């Protein structure tokens, strides 16, 4: 049985009975066979029994928690079983060595900018694509992490200005957070949180330590390597999901609510977004090197493997860039 992501939007409880996890809420009890779970996204108030936690931990299932506003608050990250002391040393070495760290940071931003360009090319915004990709010149010559992040910010600002040329019926204007000022910003924030969690789940299934990063500063209480890798996939997964939802008139007025002096997704909006987001993760493309179809979610895992090879000196890292 292929493992799937499970998204829990309503309040409830996870309990264990033998080798099956059950989700119980006001509507009843639903079985979720343990071998069917890849990761759990808890967007409602979720209670877990110790027996359920023990089984999920044994099977390596991450649980990602979001508050009632749809903001990510943390993850249950099971005890790691794929441990490599050699790789850990190499990860730290690449962080401490300024040149090695700059290479990694530039690579993540390069992948992000080129994938922004691919999205704009899809919508035939070729002049704007050129403006975005011009930022690569300063990325390649940057001498510090702050300079690299500054170049990425300039590219993203140009990229975001194109949203109103792509979107129908909704205005974006500019990127705002904490809280999002409009519907498009609400979807970006929610989608980015989901993607961060998805990348974290894929990192768990590798020997990489998710707290050691290169573009974003490693801090306590966050898995910053997930932020690094997310930058590459935001345009392809989150932004394209938003364009699809808006331009196909899937999102309606009732899918948003005004709260916290801003705009947030309602429960119906979260469900619609999650459905489209997960469908995007499960969408397959034929991989150029592997010669077979792989899902978007698998592409994230493959990116992690490429990073492992680079850190171990097997193969120089090159960020994933869409070819479609």
Closest listed residue to residue 255, CA positions, set 247, 276, 263: 263
Share of the chain above pLDDT 90, in %: 83
- Quote the pLDDT of residue 84: 81
Domain parsing of the chain, residue ranges: 4-76, 85-311
pTM above 0.75, yes or no: yes
CA–CA distance, 149 with 139 (Å, rounded to integer): 8
The phi, psi pair for 188, rounded to 5°, reads -65, -45
- Quote the pLDDT of residue 50: 93
Q: Which CATH superfamily, name and number, covers 4-76?
A: CRISPR-associated endonuclease Cas1, N-terminal domain (3.100.10.20)
The phi, psi pair for 95, rounded to 5°, reads -80, -45
SS3 category, 265: strand
DSSP 171-201: ---S---SS-SSHHHHHHHHHHHHHHHHHHH
Tens of pLDDT, residue by residue over 162-191, are 999 999 989 998 999 888 999 999 999 999
Tens of pLDDT, residue by residue over 33-42, are 888 899 999 9
CATH number of 85-311: 1.20.120.920
- Quote the pLDDT of residue 196: 97
pLDDT at 151 > cutoff 80: yes
Tens of pLDDT, residue by residue over 306-320, are 999 999 999 999 999
pLDDT at 57 > cutoff 70: yes
Do residues 280 and 274 lie in contact, with contact meaning Cβ atoms separated by under 8 Å? no
- Quote the pLDDT of residue 156: 96
- Quote the pLDDT of residue 48: 92
Beta-bridge partner residues of 197: none
């Amino acid at each position: 049985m292929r493992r799937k992501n499970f998204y829990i939007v309503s309040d409830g409880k996870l309990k264990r009975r033998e080798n099956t996890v059950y989700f119980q809420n006001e509507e009843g009890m639903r079985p979720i066979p343990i071998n069917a779970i890849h990761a759990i996204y808890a967007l409602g108030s979720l209670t877990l029994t110790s027996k359920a936690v023990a089984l999920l931990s044994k099977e390596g299932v991450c649980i990602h928690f979001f508050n009632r506003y749809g903001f990510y608050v943390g993850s249950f990250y099971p005890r790691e079983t794929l441990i490599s002391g050699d790789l850990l040393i190499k990860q730290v070495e690449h962080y401490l060595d300024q040149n090695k760290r700059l290479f990694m940071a530039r690579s993540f931003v390069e992948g992000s900018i080129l994938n922004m360009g691919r999205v704009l090319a899809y919508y035939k915004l070729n002049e704007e694509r050129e403006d975005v990709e011009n930022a690569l010149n300063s990325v390649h010559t940057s001498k510090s992490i702050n300079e690299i992040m500054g170049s990425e910010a300039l590219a993203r600002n140009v990229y975001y200005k194109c949203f109103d040329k792509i979107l129908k019926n909704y205005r974006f204007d500019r990127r705002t957070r904490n809280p999002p000022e409009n519907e498009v910003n609400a979807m970006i924030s929610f989608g980015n949180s989901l993607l961060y969690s998805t990348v974290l789940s894929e990192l768990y299934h590798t020997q990489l330590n998710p707290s050691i990063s290169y573009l974003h500063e490693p801090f306590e209480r966050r898995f910053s390597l997930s932020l690094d890798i997310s930058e590459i996939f935001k345009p392809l997964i989150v932004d394209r999901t938003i364009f699809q939802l808006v331009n196909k008139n899937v999102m309606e007025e009732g899918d948003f609510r005004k709260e916290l002096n801003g705009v947030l997704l309602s429960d119906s909006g979260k469900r619609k977004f999650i459905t489209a987001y997960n469908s995007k993760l499960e969408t397959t493309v034929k991989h150029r090197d592997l010669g077979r179809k792989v899902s978007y979610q698998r592409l994230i895992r493959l990116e992690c493997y490429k990073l492992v090879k680079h850190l171990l000196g097997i193969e120089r890292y090159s960020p994933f860039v869409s070819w479609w």
